Amino acid sequence: MCLLTKKVVDEVNDCNKISQPNRKRYIQIDYTKALGILLVVLGHIIYELANKGINSNFINQLNNSIYCFHMPLFFVLSGLGLYLKFQTNKTIVTLKEIKNLSKKLLIPYAVWSLIYLLISVLANAFITKKPIISLILGRIYAFITLRGVAPLWFLSALFLVNLAYLLIMKSRLFKEKPIFCHLTLLFFPFIVTIFAQNWFYMNKPILSNIYLYPIITIFRFFPSLFYVEIGYLLGYLWVKIINCCCLLKPLYLLLFSILFVILKLNFKC
């Protein structure tokens, strides 16, 4: 799990890279990533403790709070990195960039999916002893539909969102009406997520995995896009406001905290 967590963070770092000639490292972003890593590890530790019957109201509340924002945090950071990247390299939206994005995210997604499949087969042979054919087919179908196995959904979701952003940035509409596009990227995924999650939880018990997996992939795309757009807008504030006035840094952190409170109230964790 630690190796996979490191790989996920490496992929976020790749998406956050700025062109080499003008590259500037923001130590605050590194600290935030480190906090995210610790929260991911802590969340999984609490989850395992709960499975073993070691829990309390405090532990449950802590676990719910961590799972509410620790993965969205990485999407926000990815969006912030995209803004920094677009500001330093206006010509990155090319077919070559899309190919590079595929190599950075889809290849690790495929490799780790194979590793998880092998681990699942071995665990099934010695521990769970479930029907092996259905297990393998289920893992393969999860991989093909980009629903992902275990935490690997993050890589596929990050790929789809970054691909969407690259295509949107290249569109004529974005060049002519950037404000309209950003407002759409902000509010449309938010509204879709609110309605979609209610439909999903009501219909999940009656859906087979054949329909459930691709639906999960689609529904994950919209909140992920929302978080990346939030990160992109925070990147704008980061460059345009904070670098001009150090006194605004506490305000920036306060707004960032309020954002997650709003997300916790509106999105089911």
- Tens-level pLDDT at each residue, the chain (269 residues): 444 444 444 544 544 443 344 456 777 778 888 888 888 888 878 877 777 777 777 777 777 777 777 788 889 888 888 888 877 665 556 677 888 888 999 999 999 999 988 888 888 777 766 778 888 888 899 999 999 987 889 999 999 999 998 888 888 888 888 889 999 998 999 899 888 888 888 888 888 888 899 999 999 999 899 989 988 888 887 777 666 655 555 555 556 655 655 555 544 44
Q: Check residue 8 and give its pLDDT.
A: 44
**Alpha helices per DSSP H over 16-94:** 27-51, 57-88
Within 10 angstroms of residue 125's Cβ, the number of other Cβ atoms is 10
Beta-carbon contacts of 16 under 8 Å, excluding residues fewer than 6 positions away, are 29, 77, 78, 80, 81, 82, 84, 85
Task: Round to whole Å and give the CA distance between 50 and 70.
Answer: 18
**pTM of structure:** 0.77
Rounded CA separation 242/255 (Å): 13
The predicted structure's pLDDT at residue 3: 47
CB atoms within 10 A of CB 245: 9
Number of domains into which the chain is organized: 1
Q: Spell out the residues 6+ positions from residue 83 whose beta carbon is closer than 8 angstroms to its own.
A: 231, 232, 233, 234, 235, 236, 238, 239
Res 15: pLDDT: 46
Please tell me the predicted confidence (pLDDT) of residue 97.
80
Neighbour tally for 211: CB within 10 Å: 11
Rounded Cα–Cα distance for residues 126 and 108 (Å)? 27
Domain that holds residue 243: 2-266
Q: In 179-203, which positions are buried (b, 16+ CB within 10 angstroms) versus exposed (e)?
A: eebbeebeeebbebbeebbeebeee
Is residue 165 within 8 Å of residue 228, measured between CB atoms? yes
Say which DSSP state 52 is in: T
* pLDDT for position 89: 65
